[in-house]
Every structure is written in structure tokens, then in C-alpha cells.
Amino acid sequence: MGDLTGTARYRTAPTPPAALPVRDPLGASWRLIGWLGVLARYDALSPREITGQLPGWARPLAWVLHLFARREGRVGRPGQRLAHAFEHLGPVAIKLGQVMATRADIFGAEFATDLGRLKDRLEPFPTAEARAEVARSLGRPLDSLFTDFGDPIGAASLAQAHPAWLADGRKVAVKVLRPGVERRVAKGLDSMRLAARLADRFVPLSRRLEPRAFVETIARALQLELDMRLEAAAASELKDIMDADLAGGSGHMSAPAVVWEGVGKRVLTLEWAVGMAMTDPAAADQPGLDRNALADNIVRAFLGQALDHGTFHADLHEGNLFARAPAEVVAVDFGIIGRLGPSERRYLAEILWGFLSRDYDRIARVHFEAGYVPPHHSVEAFAQALRAVGEPVIGKQASQVSMGRLLGQLFEITALFDMHLRPELILLQKTMVSVEGVARRLNPDHDLWAAAQPVVERWIRRELGPQAQVREAVDEVVAALKALSQWAQRPPEPAQVVVQPVTSPWIVAGVTLAVVTGTGALVLSLWQAML
């Protein structure tokens, strides 16, 4: 399987993205105050459920905030109320909630689950506006490309989708950005940057979570989603990856093809996805559908993309997945794509394999080698903490695991060992949480570890096994021969040594004194030897 005991060669963990300045501090401040008002309305600023746990000085303030809660803030769990507030606040807040849902180790399992079901569904804008936007973005009349253009079938905070038909009879899905959404996103990000700056300065406990880097990661993802040409490129890239895996016998997911003549800055056209949307309750009850196999395929598709290619679909929730019996799964909506370098891929594989093989010492060393745990901590102590987390989980069904207790323990460990949020892994964590949630809603007793094992084993065998070691040795020899060949073809110019005459009288005097002294010592020693 490969030797995991040797020293892994990791680069230092990448620096977090640079925080951009707040462009309009006054406007951002007013919007932030408005956000706080909406959160207070939903009793999401200081939920009543935690008032009794607050310090004595903070409880009166919490009681005052509760007075602003309206009817919608008096029902449901805190996570549900916060999700509703984020839906009200728009695309930036929705994206923030979706990312927060990945941090169950911080916010708790139930809270993260409630946020993970955050609905990105809004009222659609008129079809006439969509038709005009498509024509304007493509620079051609709508009828020159589509024989029919239907009403929206889904509307999110950033865009909405329409069914349409090409001249050759193919059914396609046309995704159109909302009017003015770019301006709204820019204003929302400005307010979030202000909030992150305030938290970083005045709330020391928040600094471990890297709030400013956290916001910039969200901003980067949103900006990529606002250019449909980039999403089209991502869709094409992932389709090539999925098709190659399917052809090689290791694929578990497919994707619709891009219709490039229907792609513009604010418009994306894809072939119609086969199967039933997994948001449809009837999708899981299709005749002949194998729920467990479907869950396995979703998990293995994600891991295969991340480990084998370093490029993965980073928004794998039910709204972006279609299912068809017996266990076929099709992914859509490629606005968020995650990328991992060789170091992060090896880090992920070894962590997963370490848990699968219960090699907690190896997991601990990988964390230290990758720079995710500060070096002043003990590797052995960290391995001990990981064992306390892993042993209750490995080999057990999901229904037998108290995820709330487990994740609470994980948060305590990350705080104990000064582990900071790693922005480059946010999308990976977000997708892992989404994939696990989808799999367990298909089958509550789904074993995530058993599903992951074949993919991880394949990666370990290929990248760390004997063949990989031979391949690495051959690559090193070839690199050395190339360097030698280049040296032979272009040998370095011989160095020219130029002797400058000594002109300083002090140097001349020093050298003369040294010579005279040495000669005198030599003569004296010979004279003593003759006597």
C-alpha cells in the first residue's frame, strides 16, 4: 500500500488571501446596521436559547435584543432562524451561511445542519427581461439560437434557469444572471469586510478563525460565479475529468456538455441534465434506484476529483445533483470549483488513510509537516487527541455516532492546539460536509469511510506504492541527465582570475613582516636542531 511512515515533503501552508479595503465605509456601516436589525428580528444575534449561558453583564443586552424579535424570530431552532435571516439579506449572506455550514466543529452539528439546508431560492424575474438579457449578452437575436425559450424553472439569488430548445432539437438549460446582481454583491461584500475588520480588531477570540481571510474566500467564490464564461470553462473542464474517469472505469458522476454558442458574460447554456433533481422527494423513490450505491457514487466522485485531479465540484448539494436508476448521478451548476495542489492532495489522502487504518501518529505528523499545527505543540499529544476523536467513529454506522458530541470535541482540540482556519481548505471542507449530508439523507446509516476507502486506497497505491517510488526515482534520474546534457551543450565560461597589483604600503609592510617573521622562525628552529 505504500510507506506512510517516512517524512512527507510538504510546503508551508499558503498564506491567506490579502484583505481588500472597505470601499465605502459609510455605506457599509449603514448596511451592516441594517443587517443587525434583520438578525435581531429573527432572534439570531443573541438567540434566546443561549441567554442563560451568557455572563451576567451580557444578559440585559440579550433581553433587550429579544424585544426586537418578531413572530418569525419566535419559532424554530437558532440555525433555522439564522438561515431565514440570511435568505432575507440576499446573495452574500446566503453564501456566508453556506460556508458557515461547513464549520460544524465551531457552531455545532445541529446548527450547521440547519444552515446547510439554506434555501437559495427566490422569486424569479420576468421571462421578458431574461430574453432581453440573453440577446444582449450573446450579441445576437434570441431566435437565431433557440427555437423555444421557456419560463424559469428555478431562481436563485444570483441567477435563474430557463428550459430552451436548439434548432437541432436538443433541450438545453439557459442560466441568466439577475439584473443588477453584481452591484448588490459588491455592496454586500463591502459590509462583510467591515464586519471582519471590526471582529479582528475588537474580538480577540475571533482571530483564530481568520475572519478577514474567511470573507475574501467568500468574495473570490462569488466573483467567479458572476462571470458565466468562467463557469462554462469550469463545466467543460469537469466534464472532461468525469468523462475520462468513466472511460477508465473509475468514474462515478457525469456532467452535461457546454453549448458554447450560448455562452456570454451573463448567460450560460448547458445540455439538459438527465434524471430527476434530487430536490424532488420522488427522486429517491425512483423504481430500481439503489440508494446506498447512489450515496457511494456521490462520495467517490467527489474524492476522485479532489485526489486524482486536484479539481472538484465544490457545490455538491441536492439542488445541483440529478439521479437516475440504478445509481447514476449527474452534476450541474459549476459556479464554484475547488482546486488542490499536490501538497494538499497528499495531505487529504494521508489524513483519510490514517483514519481508515487508525494510524493516528501518522495523521498527527502530517498535520505538523503541512504546517496546520504550530510546531511548539507535541506530536504525540496531538495524536492522542485524534485517537479520542477517531475511535468512536471508525467502523460504526452514522446512526450510532453522536455527531454533536464528536464535533464539539473536535472544536476543543482545534482550540487546544492553536489551529487556525485554513482558507485554502474552506471549499474542500464545505463540499465534504455537503456530500456527507446528501449521502446520509439518501441512507441514514451510510458508512462514509467504507465509501471513501477504495478511492483512497487507489490513490495511496498509485502515488506512494512501489511503482510510484520507482517512477519518482526515474524522474530524478531523468532530471539529472537533462541537467547534465544542458551543461555539456553549454558549458560554463571559464572563470578569469585577475591579479591586481598591491599598491597599499600598509599591505606591503604587513606581507613583508609576515615573511621576515616566518623566515626567522624557520632559521631559529634549524639552528636549534643542529646544536
Q: What is the DSSP letter of 108?
A: -
Please state, rounded to an integer, the average pLDDT across all residues of the chain.
80
CA dist 9 and 306 (Å) reads 19
State residue 111's pLDDT score. Answer: 80
Q: Are strands 171-177 and 311-313 parallel, antiparallel or unpaired?
A: unpaired
The residue among 71, 82, 70 whose CA lies nearest residue 46 is 82
What distance in Å separates the CA atoms of residue 148 and residue 135, rounded to the nearest whole number? 14
Q: How far apart are CA 467 and CA 183, in angstroms?
A: 53
Report the distance separating Cα 133 and Cα 506, nearest Å. Answer: 85
Closest CA relative to residue 414, chosen from 205, 202, 214, 115: 205
* Cα 429 to Cα 344: distance, rounded to the nearest angstrom: 12
- SS in 3 state form for 315-376? CCCHHHEEEECCCEEEECCCCCEEECCHHHHHHHHHHHHHHHCCCHHHHHHHHHHCCCCCCC
- d(CA 236, CA 503) in angstroms, rounded, equals 73
Q: Residues 6 or more apart from 61 whose CB is under 8 A from it?
A: 46
How far from chain centre, in Å, is Cα 361? 25
Beta-carbon count within 10 A of 123 CB? 7
Task: Provide the Cα torsion 418, 422, 425, 427; round to 10°.
Answer: 120
Joined together, the cell numbers standing for residue 15 give 498564506
The C-alpha cell that represents 419 in the structure block: 489551529
- Sign of the torsion angle spanned by Cα atoms 472, 477, 478, 483: positive
Residue 32's nearest CA partner among 221, 222, 226, 215 is 215
Residues paired with 491 in a beta bridge: none
* Residues carrying an active site annotation: 315
Residue 480: what pLDDT?
A: 64
Helix axes of 211-225 and 91-100: crossing angle, nearest 10 degrees: 120
| Cα three-residue angle 215-101-41, rounded to 5 degrees | 80
**Residues lower than pLDDT 70 in the chain:** 1-17, 102-109, 116-117, 119-121, 394-412, 414-415, 420-426, 464-531
Q: Are 256 and 322 in contact (CB under 8 A)?
A: no
- Tens of pLDDT, residues 334-393: 988 888 888 788 877 877 778 778 888 888 888 888 777 888 899 999 899 888 877 877
Gap between the Cα atoms of 496 and 509, Å rounded: 28
Q: Please, are residues 372 and 424 in contact by the beta-carbon 8 Å criterion?
A: no
* 268, β-bridge pairs: 175
CA distance 97 to 310: 25
CB within 8 A of 111, min separation 6: which ones?
77, 78, 79, 82, 104
CA end-to-end distance (rounded Å), the chain: 78
Cell 511548539: give the residue: 376
C-alpha–C-alpha distance, residues 73 and 38, integer Å: 10
* Grid coordinates belonging to 107: 457552531
